Amino acid sequence: MKYILITAARNEQAFISRTLDSVVAQTVLPERWVIIDDGSTDRTAEIVGRYIKRFPWIELTRNPKREGRNFAAKADAVNAALAQLQNVDFEILGNLDADVSFAPDYMEFLLQKFSADPKLGVAGTPFTQEGDYDSTRDSFEGENFVAGPCQLFRCQCFRDVGGYVASRAGGVDWIAVMTARMKGWEAKSFAKKRFHHHRSMGTAEKGKLAALFSYGQKDYYLGGSPVWQLFRVTYRAAKKPHFFGGLALLLGYGWAAIQRRKRPVSDELMRFHRQEQKKKLKVILRSVFKFRKVDNFRLESRQTKSP
């Protein structure tokens, strides 16, 4: 299957070489890779330029410099890149952050999954981060979610969900995956592989506590259940930075709720999301009460099994 990649990059000189090296080493190369330099003030564009000289299927578009990081920039970058790729033949569209790396057969592995299952709309893998973080163990998103730093979409699925929604509040990639699931497409994170995320999620221009506060705000914006949020806050308080991390999540959610800002998700998607959270929480509580280990990654598959 033919695929293209799109990357929105801003001030990624510390990491983008690793991403570039990973892609050019793939056993199955993309038809085209469009990198949007979103107003970087460092050497990001210069680094990409060195690779363009050797790999003509890499393209660079430079946006004007601006203040601050804009979550909607990813959606804008993808839309702009797709306009550039109208005459390119491809079946799979990949969104790739500029701070990830993966094995040479990573893309081939995922393309095989798409070939084997026509209902598969979104595919990816779990990921690791510094500090021994592994999303299969340290996140409750599970195997039916594909993390934003590396998402591959079947083109028809991407069209069905309306592409990425330009949400300034964040959650652009989350909205796309959850909308795909709501519309009946399968989204799957395949645990046989991993990609490594070289920067902790949400810390591009802020510290860890500020990032957790922002995640709390985003949990509200994306329609997360207050009951699930209390569970998440309790769980987060047991992880570094412990109490203060959980408190930051809680304050972020509460602050967003007080402000009553308009959510970038439909009522239908919010109901779908909260129903998913309710099912997960039931499985977690059932496991705890029966003194069984909670399998974060396969919570949803456990929902269909008898107690």
Task: Classify the phi-psi angles of 171: left when phi > 0, otherwise alpha if psi is within -120 to 50, otherwise beta.
Answer: left
Asked if residues 142 and 172 have their Cβ atoms less than 8 Å apart, the reply is no
pLDDT digits (tens, 9 = 90+) for 169-226: 678 999 999 999 999 999 999 999 999 999 876 545 567 889 899 999 999 999 999 9
**Which of 111, 49, 59 is closest to 84 using CA atoms?**
59
3-state SS, residue 238: coil
Question: Looking at 44-58, 112-126, 258-272, 291-305, which range is the least confident one?
Answer: 291-305
Quickly count: other Cβ atoms within 10 Å of residue 66's Cβ: 12
Residues 307, 304: Cα–Cα separation, whole Å: 9
| pLDDT (0 to 100) of residue 72 | 74
Residues 38, 62: Cα–Cα separation, whole Å: 6
pLDDT digits (tens, 9 = 90+) for 3-35: 999 999 999 999 999 999 999 999 999 999 999
| pLDDT (0 to 100) of residue 306 | 40
| pLDDT (0 to 100) of residue 220 | 94
Average pLDDT value for the chain: 90
Question: Looking at 85-94, 239-248, 279-288, which range is the least confident one?
Answer: 239-248
Quick one: what percent of the chain has pLDDT higher than 70?
93
Q: Residue 196: enclosing H or E segment and its boundaries?
A: strand 195-197
Q: Name every residue whose Cβ is closer than 8 Å to that of residue 221 and which is 6 or more positions away in sequence.
A: 167, 169, 170, 171, 256, 261, 263, 264, 265
Residues 231, 246: Cα–Cα separation, whole Å: 10
Write out the two tokens for 120.
């598969």
Delineate the domains of the chain, giving CATH numbers in brackets: 3-197 (3.90.550.10), 208-294 (no CATH)
> Does residue 288 register a pLDDT over 90?
no
In the 3-class helix/strand/coil scheme, how is 43-104 assigned residue by residue? CHHHHHHHHHCCCCCEEEEEECCCCCCCCCHHHHHHHHHHHHCCCCCCCEEEEECCCEECCC
Quick one: what percent of the chain has pLDDT higher than 90?
69
Burial class of residue 179, CB neighbours in 10 A (0-12, 13-18, 19+): buried
| pLDDT (0 to 100) of residue 303 | 54
- Laid out side by side, the sheet with 195-197 consists of 100-101, 195-197, 127-129, 133-134
pLDDT digits (tens, 9 = 90+) for 59-74: 999 988 766 566 677 8
pLDDT digits (tens, 9 = 90+) for 94-148: 999 999 999 999 999 999 999 999 999 999 999 999 989 999 998 989 999 999 9
- pTM to 2 decimal places: 0.89
Residues 36, 17: Cα–Cα separation, whole Å: 15
Question: Taking residues 154-158, what's their average pLDDT?
Answer: 97
3-state SS, residue 164: coil
